[in-house]
Amino acid sequence: MNSFITQSPAKINLFLKVVGKRANGYHEIISLMSRIDLFDVLTLSFEQPSITIRCSNPRVPEGKNNLAYKAASFFFEALPSSNGVDVWIEKVIPVAAGLGGGSSNAASVLMALNQHYGLPFSNMKLMEMGQKIGADVPFFLLRHSAIVSGIGEKLEKFQGMPPLSAVLVCPNIEVSTKWVYESLNLPLTKSGKNFTIQDFREDPFRMLKSLSNDLEAVTVARFPEINNIKQRLLELGAQVASMSGSGPSVFGLFEDLEKASMAFQAMKHQECGDIFLVSLLLP
């Protein structure tokens, strides 16, 4: 088989707490992350003379700056007898939106190459490659909801995620993850509610209502429309509304699909960006 088609899911951060900063400048976090059923579609053609990445969205880099390229490069360095690959990315996940699209693409490339070449590497080895590519890549390799900590390298599978539907709003603004973290006033983030992972295990939905995304304060200060979207989702019946990652995407969680569908229809008339009706991928 010289070609393979795979789906590459987006993610949302159901909460995100910044808990410290390392000497090298990287911030340590704790976050509950879940994949959602919003997918890019990747077509891989194997046994190529080199690595090529092509994408339907012109905003996505197609060379060595693409995380999918880096994934293929690390894989072929570890398996020198292998050849190149051509990857076509049909982009559905909004770009630079806090949804992990590039990291998900990279994880999908690693898994597809490993499958094609007869599983030469364990999942642990793929995780090691993923850590070198991007902070969210190991999460997508796990293929499970997870508590993510450290700088993204520490993963603990999260059991008991409720089957929630969500309305996802991606405003037409660009937010630099690097800028958000550089602008973060770390002491301010430590004034929030204390929590433990065990609290989530006992009552995840109640805890989601009491937690938030520490990065919101930075992003909302420059882009107040993000907060307006949050408030509108809550008015439409969302149990929880929050920004995902460094933004600008905002999601509202609903107890059932019917309520989410009604809110989705209402938000479509708001002219506030790309809007999706999605569900959490379980587990």
Query: Which residue, chain included where needed, has tokens 């479509």?
Result: 268
Q: How many CB atoms lie within 10 A of CB 69?
A: 22
Catalytic site residue 11? yes
Distance between CA atoms of residues 105 and 102, nearest Å:
5
Q: One of 40, 86, 136, 214 is an active-site residue; which one?
A: 136
SS3 content of the chain, % helix, strand, coil (to 5): 35, 30, 35
Distance between CA atoms of residues 106 and 81, nearest Å:
21
Nearest to 70 by CA among 117, 137, 4: 137
Burial of 230 (0-12, 13-18, 19+ CB in 10 A): buried
Give how far Cα 227 sits from Cα of 112, 165, 243, Å. 39, 20, 9
Q: What is the side-by-side strand order in the sheet with 250-254?
A: 240-243, 250-254, 165-170, 274-279
**85 CB-near residues (< 8 Å, 6+ apart):** 44, 45, 46, 48, 51, 52, 72, 109, 113
Distance between CA atoms of residues 169 and 230, nearest Å:
9
Q: One of 11, 70, 91, 230 is an active-site residue; which one?
A: 11
- Cross-strand bridge partners of residue 107: none
List the catalytic residues: 11, 136
